Structure 1
């Protein structure tokens, strides 16, 4: 069994502040994770502002030129109907993760009734049918 740790509000907020990289010293791994998920962008440059809080450069590119069609970051409408900044080199991973999944349930077509045997009921819903008027005694 694990033991409970008492954490004060200031400790918790400090932990979240550092974990989100808002202390200006984001290591490469945490920044890569954030960019794989995407930093939400918009009309007011939300992704650039968010990056400015975390780092000064993306590789050797200054932040002022980092989000551009030639990369290293691109703004792409990837999630929640809003543009997100992703690494240009990771767009294939993002595309594959967001692609619709194929349906797993296969629907088999019912065999057509043979012309010699008349149809004995009209299907109303799965498992329910009714006899046509002409087939009733």
Structure 2
């Protein structure tokens, strides 16, 4: 049996602002913006090329056995791209505040790109949820 990660819920305070950030500024596809029941809204966006989407919601009851997440509390979600320089340029061109490129070195985080699998940048959404973008070898995109 395959277990696929298809949706990650990101806690936000303002659905319209989050939709604009992820859809317009990050360039993710807005797959869904609907009221699933009175007062219960779901927006789902998907990064280009990803099978996993991001859901943002309001008014829905919490799933049994889960804890409430506050806006800005989600950190370390990681996206992978085959060209980190191009991805950074695209985000900056769309008005996203993105960190400089960095890699892990002998002294910890160091400026600039590193070797294979060791080049990163970060950004945050308007609520402070933190994202990491890693450059992955292009042959992985052909799987």
What TM-score results when the alignment is normalised by the length of structure 1?
Answer: 0.26
**Higher fraction of strand:** 2
Greater relative contact order (Cα < 8 A, sep 6+): 2
TM-score relative to the length of structure 2: 0.25
